[in-house]
Structure 1
Amino acid sequence: MQKDFAYPDGKLYVPGSEKIIPSIKKLLDRARANGVRVVYTQDWHPENSPEFKIWPKHCVAGSRGAEIVDELEPKPNELIIRKETYDAFYKTELERHLKEASIENVIVTGVVANICVLHTAGSAALRGFKIVLPVDCTVALNDFDYQLTLRQVSFLYKGTITRSDLIFFKG
């Protein structure tokens, strides 16, 4: 999660996003403790991003708003995939990194549920990864969009919808 989305002073603040940070943090800590590979995705837009015709300017490359929130700061050995679109697989090296590491299951967290989370989860599923979406680790701008995301990930992409405390790692 990035400062422009998760903090009230962010350029594209998503109300309620700060409430999911503790759940993501607990899940992240458990994953790390069990040796799970952690990969961050980061919106990283050039000043003239086409996305700014749709949304206010946000997560501009190198800006404070593009930074990962302090509470979820990546460790030095963790991969950060910078992306310019909703889909973390589009024109990035994410798929290659996951396949080289023999990753089969992808847990998707963050914001916005029906935008970056849904597009990345769908793209992962279409590439053969099994998707897990913890309901307490994502939020949308409204309940309809949140429920739509859960439905699409479950029905269309055959993902697992669960709570983060019910996700267990083989350590």
Structure 2
Amino acid sequence: MTEFSQYVPEFVSDSDREAFAKGQYGERIGWGHSPAVIVVDITNQFTQDEYALGSSATTESLLDANERLLNAARQAELPIFYTRGPSDEEIAHVAMELRKGGEAYEVGDANEICEDLEPRDDEIVIEKTKPSAFFDTHLAGMLTHHDIDTAIVTGVSTSGCVRATVVDASSHNFRTIVPAECVADRATASHEMALFEMQMKYADILPTDEVVGEVRTLS
């Protein structure tokens, strides 16, 4: 029976653990030979208090963890991809209408990558209109172009766009790593359960220090 040595929240019952263990879920996937980093939607609207979806208290440690990971990834010369919502007002409004039933939506600088993690000139920013970084974008093709076999996924929110991206990364046969401190959600329960589900089915949930250490070996 599988030993649950990875990410398991305290509120997950013994019977639930046994159910996953019976199907041999939660076993470690491991690293490939060529990783890339995908930073999902760490934008102003999720990190700044003035936005309805934003919380600086929630994301302060997230930004610090991502900065450490990105510094290591850049030193190792790994490909780095960012995602954000559309910058075009009309496209963003249509996307919000479809999602929220016609609520007014002004983009402004909401979908800009937060200043603390500003992409470098050689790092690609992908605009998306759906939760997954892969849906209706060229991300999968770009990863294949770079011979990537391992996707390190960070960002917000854990239960939303991060989880959707992780599921699609797995569906595209990429080994998928999620540094636990590099993702965040507005609700603790959603965050914890999303990490657990991803660990059981789609990804390795690892301490950020372990991921940073692995990335540094590549340089």
TM-score by length of 2: 0.72
Larger Rg: 2
For the residues of structure 1 that align with 2:136 and 2:81, how far apart are their CA atoms?
A: 16
Cα distance change on mapping 1:161 and 1:56 into 2, 3 Å: farther
For the residues of structure 2 that align with 1:141 and 1:46, how far apart are their CA atoms?
A: 22
2:138 to 93, 113, 126: 93
Give the paired residue count: 167
1:53 to 93, 101, 114: 101
The alpha carbon displacement at 1:55 in A equals: 8.0
Residue 43 (structure 1) aligns with: 85
Q: 2:92 corresponds to which letter in structure 1? A: P
Two-structure CA RMSD over aligned residues (Å): 1.8
Q: 2:192 corresponds to which letter in structure 1? A: Q
2:207 to 163, 166, 170: 163
Range that drifts further, 8-17 or 116-125: 8-17
Residue 30 (structure 1) aligns with: 72
Matched residue SS, 2:83: strand
Give the 4+ runs in structure 1 shifted more than 4 A: none
For the residues of structure 1 that align with 2:143 and 2:51, how far apart are their CA atoms?
A: 30
Structure with bigger RCO (C-alpha 8 Å, 6+ apart)? 2
For the residues of structure 1 that align with 2:162 and 2:184, how far apart are their CA atoms?
A: 9
The alpha carbon displacement at 1:56 in A equals: 7.5
Identity among equivalent positions (%) equals: 24
Residue 53 (structure 2) aligns with: 12
Is the 1:11–1:65 contact (alpha carbons within 8 Å) kept by the matching residues of 2? no
For the residues of structure 1 that align with 2:205 and 2:102, how far apart are their CA atoms?
A: 29
Unaligned runs of 5+ in 1: none
TM-score by length of 1: 0.91
Q: 1:53 corresponds to which letter in structure 2? A: G
Is the 2:69–2:208 contact (alpha carbons within 8 Å) kept by the matching residues of 1? yes
2:196 to 151, 156, 161: 151
Cα distance change on mapping 1:162 and 1:83 into 2, 3 Å: same
Unaligned runs of 5+ in 2: 1-41
Is the 2:92–2:105 contact (alpha carbons within 8 Å) kept by the matching residues of 1? no
